[in-house]
Structure 1
Amino acid sequence: MKYLTWLGLAIASLLGTAQACELDRNVRLAGMSWMSNLMMVEIEKAILEDGYDCEVVVEFGDTVPMIAAVVRGDVDLYNELWIDSAPQNWISANEAGEVVSLGDIYSGGVESWWIPRYVAEQNPGLTSVYDLPDYKDLFEDREEPGMGRIYNCPEGWVCGAINNNLLQAFGLEDDYIMFSPGSGAALDAAIASSYAREQPFVTYYWSPTAVLGKYDMVELEMPAYDPEGHQCNMDPECESPVASAFPKASIQKTIPTALQQNAPEMAAFFAEINIPTDEVNTLLAWADEQDAEPDQVAEYFLANYESLWTQWVSAEVADKVKAARQ
């Protein structure tokens, strides 16, 4: 039997084909509704298919059911688990050894208040949220003269409650209003319009996103992150809002623990995947400008970021992926 196994591998090598995929079934990747996830899924799919000879399917769904699918073992990889906000079913499964985190997929998620760089350069004294009262005329709200405007995220998002509480915690409620657009698209449109005309504005935003890849923005300084205070700030009914920065989010990959046993090489590949957040922003901005589909972004990444993704895999796998594109 050992001789036949060796002979089969030798023949495969002579024929220029690699060993079969570690799994004798489809590899199942969780697909969300946003570009950063879909882009990563297509990158992983291309490498798995061309480098590991696997058949890959993408299971689409919302965050909660897809995390539940990983917990059940119905999905092999979930790419963007914001670990500080992980649901209890994942935490319980992780403690029971049924699922495992494979570390960060990006260098970190960022939430903050931002101004355009052209505003920062024209107003060098504006570096902190505590400087904003001195600049409220610069950011005047046309609908409420005498008050400055800070763009908030849409009503109903958790960040909206946080920003409303921070307005009070930073002592800005007499100088600024939190303006909530009707949707995420409306917020993006307001930023794009103001930036194109080089108008001054202050806005909440998060990363990785196309917006922070497309526009040169400067983060306003905030006090140090206070975990307990941030928990209160998340509550719209927080009685004593706390002056706290947003946490620097850890966005991780997670798989069923059984996959490490059944496909250790594949699990090792998943563990190595990591893209610096600034590069993710740049890729998302390129996708937005080109109106590219996720698979087109993946091909652009494989062609232009070879020095990055080849670190995730063996030289043999890398050569196969590159050969498939020649």
Structure 2
Amino acid sequence: MSLVAGAGVLGMVALSACGAAKTDAGADGAKEVTFAVPSWVGAQANVAVAAKLLEDELDVTVNQKQMDEPVAFDALNSGKADAIMEDWAGVPDKEKLYVEQKKTVVKGGDLGVEGHIGWYVPKYYADKHPEVLDYKNLNKLKDDFKTSESGDKGQFLGAAPSYTSYDKELIANHKLDFKVLPSGAEAAQLKEIQRLYQAKKPFLTYWWQPQWMNAQIKMVEVKLPEYTEGCNEPKEQTKCGYETLMLQKYLNADFAKDGGAAAELVKNFEWTTEDQNEVAKMIAGDDMSPEDAAAKWIAENKSTWEKWLPKS
């Protein structure tokens, strides 16, 4: 989703001065692992659990470096990061360069979580105005979405600047009379949505799954033109909606080959949307530290994570 960090919930450990990922660790593989961690809370949940298991079960030192997809792929290529646990296919050019051409980055397998981005309105508004669920009708309803910031246009509550989004292009190419108001950060967007939702006001927003707050609010998706492969390339000509995809892990190629038990655990890590949302809610919704949230989930889900451990 290419998503600044949700409510400051993650304290990142800086890379060493040399910046290189350390995978030269003898027969057992890597003794130190560096994760590239995108700023959205679901990505932080993945790494919190993986880090806790690596540290407690394999005695591996874990470093975490906040970086969204474009920078993360550069770091995987250079060896400054060993793995990213959640990729939303937001940087196809870098993926093609590093994975297909240079082969310095390799796929690490499915995360087990299905990702979807779309345009959403609150259910209470859609119940009164079902026509809003087709994007072709949005201009007729724009007055309901006007704010002091949007002027004579309807307001579209956008995502954080680093997230993969085609909202400005969709609005322009479909001649929709709406103005994107960037939220600045995931935490700010969630706070504004909660405020509007509690006040039962209409709003149109960029929204996604997995997202822990879906358990607390009822949102309904606005139908956009169906996604087909390549329909958002070039970005400026995008008229289609967003792709639904299985989120992927990517590893530095040397780490994947020589990382031993640590690399095997990362490759084996596969949980559900519900699992991720549970940990993310503890972090962002319940103000738990990522470490405590991971520890709680691990204590309650041994049958899931013990399958990820390397076979001795």
**TM-score, length of structure 1 as denominator length:** 0.72
CA shift, 1:171, in A, is 4.0
Amino acid at match of 2:284: D
Amino acid at match of 2:298: L
Matching residue of 2:293? 297
What does 1:191-210 correspond to in 2, within 5 Å? 191-210=193-212
Corresponding residue SS for 1:222: coil
Corresponding residue SS for 2:244: coil
Matching residue of 1:60? 65
CA shift, 1:100, in A, is 1.4
Q: Matched residues in 1 for 2:264 and 2:180: separation? A: 45
What does 1:151-166 correspond to in 2, within 5 Å? 151-153=157-159, 159=165, 162-166=166-170
Q: Is the 8 A contact 1:213 1:283 kept in 2?
A: no
Corresponding residue SS for 1:251: strand
Q: Is the 8 A contact 2:73 2:94 kept in 1?
A: no
Q: Is the 8 A contact 2:27 2:260 kept in 1?
A: no
Structure-2 change in CA distance of 1:94 and 1:166 (3 Å): closer
Q: Matched residues in 2 for 1:166 and 1:74: separation? A: 36
Q: Matched residues in 1 for 2:99 and 2:290: separation? A: 31
Amino acid at match of 2:294: A
The answer to whether structure 1 residue 216 and structure 2 residue 218 are counterparts is yes
> What do residues 197-226 of structure 1 show as CA deviations (whole Å, max 9, x unaligned)?
222211112344444454322211111114
Matching residue of 2:32? 26
CA shift, 1:157, in A, is 6.5
Structure-2 change in CA distance of 1:281 and 1:25 (3 Å): closer
Amino acid at match of 1:195: Y
Q: Which runs of 5+ in 2 are unaligned?
A: 1-25
Structure-2 change in CA distance of 1:253 and 1:140 (3 Å): same
CA shift, 1:101, in A, is 0.5
Judge which range, 106-115 or 190-199, deviates more: 106-115
Amino acid at match of 1:103: G
Q: Matched residues in 2 for 1:87 and 1:220: separation? A: 29
Q: Which runs of 5+ in 1 are unaligned?
A: 1-19, 236-240, 318-326
Provide the alpha-carbon RMSD of the alignment.
3.4
Which structure dedicates a bigger proportion of its chain to strand? 2
Structure with larger RCO (C-alpha < 8 A, sep 6+): 2
What does 1:5-154 correspond to in 2, within 5 Å? 22-23=28-29, 25-52=31-58, 54-63=59-68, 64-86=70-92, 88=94, 91-92=97-98, 94-141=100-147, 147-153=153-159
**TM-score, length of structure 2 as denominator length:** 0.75
Structure-2 change in CA distance of 1:119 and 1:312 (3 Å): farther
Judge which range, 137-146 or 223-232, deviates more: 137-146
Judge which range, 39-48 or 212-221, deviates more: 212-221
Structure-2 change in CA distance of 1:149 and 1:260 (3 Å): closer
